[in-house]
Structure 1
Amino acid sequence: MSGPVLAIELAEAVSRASIRRVRDLLVRSSARFEEKRFGEYDVSIHAEALGITATRSVDGRRPMLVSVMGPGMGDEAVFEAEHADEVDREPLIGFSPTHAVDVIAFCNSPVDHVVTALLTAAVMDVIGSVANAELRADQRPVVAGLPGIVATTPDPWPAVYGSAEFLRSWVQQPGFRLLK
């Protein structure tokens, strides 16, 4: 079963040096690390490396995929498909994304939602930019007052764009769960 996904929207391609720093972060935080291509990593994250101590798995390892995508990076078709139906984000976040980093959990337990958010925040600490998180309608009031929000979108697809600080604040909220 596929788990939650967060996207880091980028105004330009990530530098090779920044991707190497992301790679180093993932190597340090992982029990298993596989580089599928430069900028795409299949990992088994130690939840404890992100400060998470309560996990349901025996060893705290969570399977994840971290993928830089966009023109010249790989997964161009995926990037285009993910952004095809979205509203113009330039008025919302100050730029139209040209690239993205997807952080994808391969499991869907509550800890996988927390790991996805905190791993995304850690990657953002390296590369910056804003995370795009889809919301359920009932989550809008929960996130409304949190620090680090850049923008929110209404229906038909409620979403929040926020900083690493926002993600770290959101995971502290009771019942935290990503939409997808």
Structure 2
Amino acid sequence: MAEVDAATAVARAVGAEPRMGAVPPEWRRHGVCPPTRLPMESDVAGTYRCAKIPDMAGPVVSIALPDRLTDEVEAQLDSCLLNLVRPPLEHAKRGFWDLSVEPRHLGITESDRDGPRPFLLDVSGPGYEDGDHYDQGRFAEPESEYLPALLGFTPANMINVIAMCNGRVDHVATALLTAAITDVTGGTAIIELLDHQVDLARTLPGVLHVAPDTDDSGAFALGAGAFLRAFAATPNFRLLK
């Protein structure tokens, strides 16, 4: 699967270009932890909500939607997210949310990080910007030759769920937040897997397909909300980042 770097994803979402040197103010505003290829400067390091793990942002999971994301479904998604975040719900533009997710609202009772967890949601495809998955509104991922056949549809839109930090709680919260979004939108999550997770994923409820690592693609699973919740409950759970 095509890898989406979280820092690159947030840069595209807020209209900034990744660059070396000084950390762009757009990234500081959204609390993104810079990747290792973007060194932090000492005078801005303290502005990061993820300063304890300065070299890493968190995982990104994509959701493929069988139907266009309508204004009505966006409104339903807003209602869902209102129950999961610390107010206010920041939905600054159509197809883009800046969230402070409360782990306890997702049912997470233990956390290795303090406070709400920063996330971005970004929609791409027809009616939205092209993003990482589309070229001029046409689904154009490298795996476009086989992914629609596995899904049973060509994605009408894609949603990226972007974790801004990389604690264990952020991995669990990514899975559970993605599950909630698939419930509302009817989408299918595309989850990249570590090698040791492939056999496990095949046994979990809600899994639609598991593909092992090949020369053309890393291992991944397709699943609904039930799969993500079951996966997040497995021992030592982490998403591939």
- Pairwise same-fold verdict (TM > 0.5): yes
SS in 2 for 1:138: helix
SS in 2 for 1:42: strand
* Correspondences of 1:20-169 after superposition (within 5 Å): 20-32=75-87, 33-59=89-115, 61-74=116-129, 76-80=130-134, 84-86=141-143, 87-154=145-212, 155=214, 156-169=217-230
> Deviations 1:2-31 (Å, cap 9, x if unpaired)?
201111111221121111111122223211
Aligned equivalents of 2:128, 2:134: Cα separation in 1: 13
2:61 counterpart residue number: 6
CA-CA distance at 1:105 after TM superposition: 0.4
CA-CA distance at 1:83 after TM superposition: 5.0
> Deviations 1:33-66 (Å, cap 9, x if unpaired)?
322311210010000110001112333x000011
User: Looking at both structures, which has the greater relative contact order when contacts are Cα pairs under 8 Å and sequence separation is at least 6?
Assistant: 1
- The one-letter code sitting in structure 2 at the alignment partner of 1:30 is V
> Deviations 1:88-109 (Å, cap 9, x if unpaired)?
2222110121311111100001
- The one-letter code sitting in structure 2 at the alignment partner of 1:3 is G
- The one-letter code sitting in structure 1 at the alignment partner of 2:61 is L
The two structures have a TM-score, normalised by structure 1, of: 0.91
Aligned equivalents of 1:85, 1:36: Cα separation in 2: 30
CA-CA distance at 1:141 after TM superposition: 1.3
- Percent identity over the alignment is 35
Q: How many residue pairs were aligned?
A: 178
Whether the 8 Å contact between 2:66 and 2:186 is mirrored in structure 1 is no
- The one-letter code sitting in structure 2 at the alignment partner of 1:106 is M
Report the more deviating stretch, 113-122 or 63-72: 63-72
SS in 1 for 2:75: helix
Whether the 8 Å contact between 1:88 and 1:96 is mirrored in structure 2 is no
Whether the 8 Å contact between 1:11 and 1:98 is mirrored in structure 2 is yes
Aligned equivalents of 1:12, 1:24: Cα separation in 2: 19
Aligned equivalents of 1:83, 1:117: Cα separation in 2: 25
In structure 1, runs of 5+ residues without a counterpart are none
Superposition CA RMSD, Å: 1.7
- The one-letter code sitting in structure 2 at the alignment partner of 1:160 is A
In structure 2, runs of 5+ residues without a counterpart are 1-32, 34-56
Aligned equivalents of 2:176, 2:128: Cα separation in 1: 24
Query: Which one has the bigger strand percentage?
Result: 1
